Amino acid sequence: MSKITGSEAVIKCLLEEQVDIIYGYPGGAIMPVYDELYKYQDKIHHVLTRHEQGATHSAQGFARISGRVGVAIATSGPGATNLVTGLADAQIDSTPMVCITGQVSSHLLGSDAFQETDIIGISTPITKWNYQITKASEIPEIFAKAFYIAKSGRPGPVLIDITKDAQFEKINFSYKKIEGIRSYKAVPKINHNNIKLAAELINNAKKPLIVWGQGVILGNAEKELIKFVEKSGIPAAWTILGASAIPTSHPLNVGMLGMHGNYAPNILTNECDVLIAIGMRFDDRVTGDVNRYAKQAKVIHFEIDPAEVNKIIDVDVAVLGDAKQTLNEILKITENKSHKKWHAKFKELYEIEYKKVIHDDLNPKKEGLTMGEVMKEINIQTKGDAAIVSDVGQHQMIACRYSNFNKTKSNITSGGLGTMGFALPAAIGAKMACPEREVVAVIGDGGYQMTIQELGTVFQTKAAVKIVVLNNDFLGMVRQWQQLFFDKRYASTEMVNPDFVKIAEGYYLKAKRVTKREDLANAVEEMIKSDEPYFLEVVVEKEDNVFPMITTGSSVSEIRLS
């Protein structure tokens, strides 16, 4: 067996894991790996992003739409620290990702050498696992572990730091995929007695409510969830990361939970008698005041991560395991029900929300354009088949509330960390993972400028993403809170924006700006029909607010419609 360098071993490990796209930015400490990448261009496509943060978000977008592990690569020091936001985002949103960083030679570790940073210490709280390789012989085993840990059980990001001397050192290469690690139990064993206890509560419930999250999508359990919902007849609501697991149009889909979610599922969370949580973690944006959250209900929690059970909400029955397996088990003993009177309550509250909020969002009488009517037009032109990518803010809430999702893995957004700047690079990764899908990035004017340099990546790769900036010349969500709770003191939230169209055109992208309602439909149609990347700026109302809204410290039943 001929020996190869550690850097070539890195590439061979990636090939063994069937990696064909990676996102990154070169530098001195990772240069040997890049030199090997150059030799394998026909097998692994390296995407040169314009910033390492963009590499991580692109890897996240790739992973979220495909279900595969996203891969990002960077050099040591500032290259490595620029990965931190993406790692934290992936950790809290359970996104499978492997990040590879170069490091100074092992004899220089701890000496404050040029571009040396303790990325292992920095990234420990925001990774599922991390490891520093100082010997080339470690590379095959560590990479096999990294990919197994990243994608198994509850997914998450892994970081591998490789010293420069380990990249040059030669080894006899052999690779063995890992099927398990003795000290790491990826999926808890199913407790069939708890399945029976859960089924008994569900079958006897008069006003049950299902709340599902991203665990359903990560576990490929969408079909099982739909079967369970349809057999049990239980209304089902979703967290923003769970959106699209059940089509928006499904009659038992009762809408979005949380701070800017729909009126009915929030109000009725505090009226249901059994709350069935599936693959969600009771985030504070969903629960509001936990001391007044579903106190009247028996709570059943379907969850793959035991650490999430009883962490925020005390549960009556914990159903641990992979959602696909546990839903299949409970389906066998779930009774056929319809719950017509209970569903009527959801319809009644929806009509209230429609009259007070939704109608005016989608069919405004005001002169200026609303974010809601932009999403309505995108729905019309994409027929609900697009993947919608957003970062955080008013645009995110509007995109989640009003997008029509016909397919799973269609709502790609920064949920737990709430990262401004996520959407543009994530859309690039999503489009590359699924080039056959329409990918529309819906972004606020604030977040857009945090990673606007990734327009260079769009131009260089020709990734046909459609970029929609909803421009209200404000950091809109913060401004909304300032309007409602700080007497309209708009402290540092008004934006003096550049000419976005000229910037896009500077990157040789097709671009258009819309300011009038009569021009919106044609502009969106032109964008969607384009086979190339396209930038569309839509100027919207400056002081429009997102409702409904649950204010900080309030109960979900105190949700406001205005």
How far apart CA 539 and CA 25 sit, in angstroms, is 34
Residue 125 is given by DSSP the state G
What one-letter code names the amino acid at 418? G
User: What separation in angstroms does the CA of 414 have from each of 90, 214, 431, 507, 532?
Assistant: 9, 12, 17, 26, 25
Q: Which two tokens stand for residue 495?
A: 């934006």
Quick check: 56 and 72 in contact, CB under 8 A? yes
* Catalytic, out of 16, 115, 135, 459: 115
How far apart CA 81 and CA 83 sit, in angstroms, is 5
Torsion angle of alpha carbons 130, 134, 136, 137, nearest 10°? -80
* Catalytic, out of 128, 151, 164, 409: 164
Does residue 52 carry a catalytic annotation? yes
How far apart CA 468 and CA 409 sit, in angstroms, is 20
How far apart CA 409 and CA 219 sit, in angstroms, is 12
Q: Could you tell me which residues are beta bridge partners of residue 129? A: 158
Does residue 18 carry a catalytic annotation? no
Q: Hey, how many other C-beta atoms are within 10 angstroms of the C-beta on 21? A: 18
Does residue 332 carry a catalytic annotation? no
Does residue 164 carry a catalytic annotation? yes
* Catalytic, out of 3, 114, 383, 516: 114
Nearest to 447 by CA among 427, 474, 429: 474
Q: Provide Rg for the chain, Cα atoms.
A: 24
Q: Which two tokens stand for residue 462?
A: 């020709």
* Catalytic, out of 477, 480, 500, 537: 477
How far apart CA 456 and CA 372 sit, in angstroms, is 29
Q: Torsions phi, psi of 221, nearest 5? A: -110, 20
Does residue 115 carry a catalytic annotation? yes
How far apart CA 294 and CA 272 sit, in angstroms, is 7
* Catalytic, out of 52, 116, 222, 329: 52
Residues marked active site are found at 52, 114-115, 164, 477
